[in-house]
């Protein structure tokens, strides 16, 4: 499992976001999907063992 990276400070996030070209990123993603390079990630929604649903969820 890869090591988790540290969270960025709000200033670092703002700097990162300001330098992005979202249009180019989206266009590249579309090209990748059309070329068959897309990936599908499936995550199972599992309740932890011993969890109890509130009665209001059953109503």
Residue 1 has pLDDT above 50, yes or no: no
At 32 the pLDDT is: 92
Of 57, 35, 37, 59, nearest to 47 by C-alpha is: 57
Torsion sign, CA atoms 48, 44, 31, 27: negative
pLDDT band at residue 35 under the 50/70/90 scheme? very high
Helix (H, G, I), strand (E, B) or coil at 43: coil
pTM over 0.75: no
Torsion sign, CA atoms 33, 39, 41, 42: positive
How confident is the model over 7-21, as a mean pLDDT?
94
Q: Is residue 5 part of a domain?
A: no
Boundaries of domain holding 25: 10-47
Q: pLDDT digit string (tens) for 37-57?
A: 888 888 888 766 666 666 555
How confident is the model over 7-22, as a mean pLDDT?
94
Q: Is residue 28 part of a domain?
A: yes
Q: Is residue 15 part of a domain?
A: yes
Count of domains observed in the chain: 1
Q: Is residue 55 part of a domain?
A: no
Q: Is residue 40 part of a domain?
A: yes
For residues 6 and 59, give the distance between their C-alpha atoms in angstroms, rounded to a whole number: 42
Q: Is residue 39 part of a domain?
A: yes
For residues 31 and 13, give the distance between their C-alpha atoms in angstroms, rounded to a whole number: 27
């Amino acid at each position: 499992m890869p090591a988790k990276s540290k969270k960025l400070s709000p200033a670092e996030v703002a700097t990162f976001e300001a330098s992005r070209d979202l249009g180019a990123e989206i266009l590249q993603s579309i090209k990748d999907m059309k070329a068959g390079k897309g990936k599908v990630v499936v995550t199972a929604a599992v309740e932890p063992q011993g969890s109890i649903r509130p009665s209001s969820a059953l109503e």
